[in-house]
Structure 1
Amino acid sequence: MTSVLRLLPRPLQVALTVILLGIVGLPIGYVFLASVNSDLAVAAGEFWPEQVSFGNYRQIWSTVPLSRGLANSLLVAGAVALACAAAAVFSAYVLVRHAFRGRRTILRALLGMQSIPGTLLLLPLFVLFATIGYTVGVPIIGTRSSLFITYLTFGLPFSTWIMVTYLRGLPGELVEAATLDGAGTWQILLRIVIPLSWPGLVVAAIFAFLLGWNDVLFASVMTDVDTRTAAVVLQVFGSSAEGGAIPPYGQMMAAALVCALPVVALYLVFQRYIVNGLTSGGEK
């Protein structure tokens, strides 16, 4: 995007930036205004509230189990992000720095796995977890562990490919110099590769985190009332509001914004690492 803007005249750059901000900002602005408006006014199509009230933000915590859903989402998505980042850097280091038979096949398989629609694996995974739980006598469906394993399965190939792309850009002379100095594989990983790979690790972790945070399909099937994630809580809340009088639009909008805040904060905190991690592979 930056290279494209550099080719455009200054007025066109400003106009394009304003248009993009409008496309992104207008829906968010409407959701916020609806969250501080009355349900009747939102149902009538009013955009600007006559009286601003933040009561919806107080009521959602008692109307729906939002706090429990947020805790489940943070726990599962955070664990998946950490596990994907840790496993990805180790796997990518082996794939980049070591030549062995089947290496190219593994790299191609990582890309191929991204083309498999997740919906096709919903029923097989459910049957697999149910069968294992019945065999060993330990329930898996309805627990956070089932979500963790599912998201790890989908997130690890993409995270590994991100780290492969990033580690290819790191100078190999550093690893060779450390090897000549007598450093072992673990010392090289912990003292050289990982400290230099923070941008790539952050990108891999964030993408894995978003996979678990935004998912509704798998979470709605593999969780119960106590282990529902925030996305499922919002879905159930929206479904339960249908068919009645005026749905609680204000509370629904407020709950949606509250669930979006952790992701926004994550991007703001790690913005510098995300930009470096996404562009460093192409620049180097």
Structure 2
Amino acid sequence: MSTVVAPRRGAQPAAVDRPGSRQQTEVTRLLPNWLLAVVIALLALFVLVPLSYIFLASINSDISVARGDFWPAVFTPDNYANIWSSVGLANGLTNSILVAGSTAIVSAALSIGTAYVLVRYQFLGRLTIMRGLLALQSVPGTLLVLPVFVLFSSAATYLGIQVIGTRWGLFVTYLTFALPFSTWVMVTYLRGLPRELEEAARIDGASSLGILTKIILPLSWPGIIVSGIFAFLLGWNDVLFASVMTNPESQTAAVALQIFATSTEGGAIPYYGQMMASALVCAAPVVILYLFFQKYLVGGLTAGGVK
């Protein structure tokens, strides 16, 4: 005969470590609180000190920056007004946004359909295609500059199509490198989605296209955002291909900054203030992009980490 002991009146129930509770956090944390605060402070200083110097130099005179002054004697916003005429930043930013933005959108749109076929269907050559996508990531871009340039130059000679010096030629170049990476990111993401949702939709009579657009696409926004942002950064930060594939009308912001820095090196006092101001202006769209899609980035980068 078993005896059940009832809890005493007024007794507190035993604490249960719920997921995300304070007890569980203290147990699983690798560093103590004081050491974690020190590490975060050092990382913040490591990032904020160079950014502070760049910002202060952008509102300082060129002579003061060349002299090594950290704090400006006179705060002046003239550098931010001069860069639009001296650097030609307006044209460069427009080309960068058009080329990098279109690369991000098209690669993200094509990658989800390609990844869905590679993950959900079995066909001859499927593993070969997936291994080829992975192998393409290990090819350095510097090895492909000359072949790509020769190929696009030949298009003007043999086909009468001008590719070098156009925005769409640079777009095709970036898409060649961004699409394999975006597809592999979406393959990894779609593997974590449950098949039961698709099976239930097929029972209700949904087609493969309907499943892709109405079920897979809404659930895949974190992965789509991640692949799109990485494709955008590929076109935004590139200097190598943009230097040989563009002309003054189609050059990107990165090329405009490089040309401006090279042309002012031989002067008595380089335009340090305008260089710093241009760098901050070019970095602003990327920072805004990260801040706007931050929640999607966290979900997309951690997807598939726990099965």
What band does the TM-score fall into relative to the shorter chain? over 0.9
* Alpha-carbon distance, 1:179 to partner: 1.1
Equivalent residue runs for 1:166-205 within 5 Å? 166-205=189-228
Aligned twin of 2:247: 224
* Alpha-carbon distance, 1:32 to partner: 0.6
* Alpha-carbon distance, 1:55 to partner: 1.1
Range with greater deviation from structure 2 (210-219 or 180-189)? 180-189
* Alpha-carbon distance, 1:6 to partner: 2.4
User: 2:276 aligned with 1:243, yes or no?
Assistant: no
Aligned twin of 1:141: 164
Q: Which of these residues, 237, 256, 265, is aligned with residue 279 of structure 2? A: 256
Q: Which of these residues, 54, 77, 85, is aligned with residue 100 of structure 2? A: 77
Equivalent residue runs for 1:1-284 within 5 Å? 6-284=29-307
Distance 2:199 2:132 in 1: 29
Distance 1:181 1:187 in 2: 11
Distance 2:288 2:42 in 1: 24
Distance 1:238 1:167 in 2: 44
Q: Matched residue pairs, number?
A: 282
* Alpha-carbon distance, 1:263 to partner: 0.3
Residue identity opposite 1:78 in structure 2: G
CA RMSD of superposed structures (Å): 1.3
Distance 1:283 1:68 in 2: 45
* Alpha-carbon distance, 1:138 to partner: 2.0
* Alpha-carbon distance, 1:77 to partner: 0.3
Residue identity opposite 2:142 in structure 1: T
Distance 1:129 1:196 in 2: 38
* Alpha-carbon distance, 1:139 to partner: 1.0
* Alpha-carbon distance, 1:28 to partner: 1.2
Bigger Rg, which one: 2
Q: What's the CA shift string for 1:77-113, capped at 9, x where partnerless?
A: 0000001100100010001101112212211111110
Distance 2:203 2:53 in 1: 60
* Alpha-carbon distance, 1:65 to partner: 1.2
Distance 1:173 1:277 in 2: 21
Distance 1:160 1:18 in 2: 37
Distance 1:111 1:22 in 2: 37
Q: What's the CA shift string for 1:115-163, capped at 9, x where partnerless?
A: 0000000000000000012112121100011111110010111100110
Distance 2:150 2:266 in 1: 33
Q: What's the CA shift string for 1:190-217, capped at 9, x where partnerless?
A: 1000000000000000000000000000
* Alpha-carbon distance, 1:283 to partner: 2.5
SS in 2 for 1:212: helix
TM-score, length-normalised on structure 1? 0.97
The 4+ residue runs of structure 1 with deviation greater than 4 A are none
Point out the structure with the larger helix share.
1
TM-score, length-normalised on structure 2? 0.90
* Alpha-carbon distance, 1:7 to partner: 1.0
Q: Alignment identity in percent? A: 61
